[in-house]
Structure 1
């Protein structure tokens, strides 16, 4: 209450002084950042390998090379990052492309301007003590599925895999457990039976014997087997209204990210890991490098939406989501290759 009174008093003072610009700056703190050209990018879990490109681009100085002042922030789940974007608190998000389709069904226009991953890059893991009872997603009846957040891409994938195996949403429950340490704790405390996770958490759980692989979507073959096709995942997405007035900045962002993707495909896992903060290793650099080495094929080589990629994601989303099934979704308003196509 005291903080709200202080802010209200400040606004009144600004108005009394007739300083309209100061009033607007207080009412909308991000206006000043936008005015200065600063771009804040929210990442749905910045230390996950599926979201490696933004931190790597920063470490390599690629944003600065483009003349961009970029601040990276992190949220534990993509849905939280998405909410920050819709609130106008950030200019861009690094999260799964499927949010663009989900948001269009809710009347929001968000577009991916650079595709970072061609597959989801993660796995559904089952607790080791339940591995004999849960052999596929068809065995989830009465079980609890751990997801990063409700409405997150991990929940989208879990719901689709369950529906593909004949289950209804009411047959199982979903529990938001975040990622990393909180997810590992949920497994150890037996609060979840199956959980979606990505590297390096996947390798930590498998190497410790806490979990076993149920569905592998870290590779192209595994993704096709699970979903019936590729599933373009991590991307850089922005609001349509921001894009209309910030095309030069979007072009620079796309160029920095595509350059980063090219670095990933022309350097070793050891070279890439050396550019990342030490605390990303989870206390085990050797395991981190191994996980990164196995993950390199999941990254896009050119930042473009793969042929039929958007259609495949829509097919998956429509498979379980009543807000999308049977609804007209204009995929051309969920992504664009306009900026990556200009990069040589």
Structure 2
């Protein structure tokens, strides 16, 4: 019997803080960033196409390009009116896309493989991260007791939520190290304060998360790093190859029917990825909403950005060896994917990135 379930009780204060942060993120995404020196999409021409994108945890550094494009005014320059909505879990964002509530999702590319296995067609139109940027943290009091995923049996493991990419990766790492995923408790604890609270209250033993949560958990001694996928070497050691992560993915029917709109979006993201490569962590942080780093402090946020800036894809092109690695990972444990014939060429396209034009 599956023991995956949602972590529900963290304490009134933590939940209230989390809710306020989520509201702040939603407000930033929907109305633009004029108050902090950015540009609101409201200045786009009235006839500009409108697109709503749901992001699986907007304040995570791995999803930074979506908000950064808005703050830099690149959606305006590309000629598209973008509404960004925060959803803490990638799996939920995907379901909202399938229900037609949003046109696209800012999430991990691997969801497209899982969807095709279920008879649904979606594709990544731009690849933003070359590697996952995920870190497996464990409670400090377990150092020496948990030495690898081989010690996950019977443990409570934090994931963003059921069906998220952290759920996929946690199950793969468990199985790869000889632990049946049904012999562990995977609990949806989100990220940021809810993740850290779950660890401090010993509701989870280990958990997979990203920056800036990683830096916060390390800074006060709450956790230690078990596995680090913020580098190409760490990702290949853990997952066996290149594992492209953050992308913008959309239903194939929408992409085919709205190619001009998709091209405008990709133009904005390619420009953003190039901007990231040409600027320091401090310069990037200066563009972001203050609530993105309020939980860890701006200095720690900048340090994390500088240390992991290599995770961002400088071109937007899908790495050729990436999709096969993602398929191999999902095929190991996901019964909906295992044994299925997957046409990887239909899970992503480089068409729009290759046709991207500079923004004036």
* TM-score after normalising by structure 1: 0.89
Per-residue CA distance 1:292-318 (angstroms, 9 max, x = gap) = 111100000110100111111101111
Q: CA deviation at 1:36?
A: 7.2
1:19 is aligned to none
Residues 1:110 and 2:118 aligned together = no
Helix, strand or coil for the counterpart of 1:72? Answer: strand
1:127 to 139, 142, 151: 139
Could you say what the CA RMSD is over the residues aligned between the two structures, in angstroms?
A: 1.1
Match of 1:137 in 2: 149
Does 1:342 find its partner at 2:350? no
C-alpha contact (below 8 Å) 1:111/1:336 kept by paired residues: yes
Residue 66 of structure 2 is aligned to residue 54 of structure 1? yes
Residue 150 in structure 1 maps to residue 162 in structure 2: yes
Deviations 1:49-69 (A, max 9, x none): 000001000000000001111
Instruction: Tell me which of 292, 301, 312 is aligned to 2:305.
Output: 292
Whole-angstrom CA distance in 2 between matches of 1:210 and 1:218: 19
- Report the Cα distance in structure 1 between the residues aligned to 2:294 and 2:334, rounded to whole angstroms: 35
CA contact (8 A) 1:40 1:73 kept: yes
Shift of 1:173: 1.2
Question: Distance in 1 between the 2:65 and 2:87 partners?
Answer: 16
Q: Is the Cα contact below 8 Å between 2:48 and 2:80 reproduced in 1?
A: no
Aligned length, in residue pairs: 310
Gaps of 5+ in 1: 1-34
Q: Deviations over 1:15-71 (max 9, x none)?
A: xxxxxxxxxxxxxxxxxxxx9731011110100000000100000000000111101
Compute the displacement of 1:195 (Å). 0.3
Q: Is 1:246 the equivalent of 2:258?
A: yes
* 1:1-344 to 2 correspondences below 5 Å: 37-283=49-295, 284-343=297-356
- Distance, in Å, in 2 between the alignment partners of 1:155 and 1:282 is 27
Deviation string, structure 1 residues 184-210 (Cα, Å, up to 9, x no partner): 110011000010000000000011100
**Residue segments in structure 2 that go unaligned for 5+ positions in a row:** 1-46
8 Å contact kept, 1:77–1:179:
no
Give the TM-score taking structure 2 as reference length: 0.85
Does the 8 Å CA contact 1:224/1:230 hold for their aligned counterparts?
Answer: yes
CA distance in 1, matches of 2:141, 2:76: 49
1:179 partner SS: coil
What is the aligned partner in structure 1 of residue 35 from structure 2? none
Moved beyond 4 Å, runs of 4+: none
- How far apart are residue 139 of structure 1 and its match? 0.3
- Please tell me whether Structure 1 or Structure 2 has the larger radius of gyration of its CA atoms: 1
SS at match of 1:45: coil
**1:62, 1:256 within 8 Å by CA — same for their partners in 2?**
yes
2:125 and 2:266 in contact (8 A); partners too:
yes
Kindly state the Cα deviation for residue 325 of structure 1 after the two structures are TM-superposed: 1.3
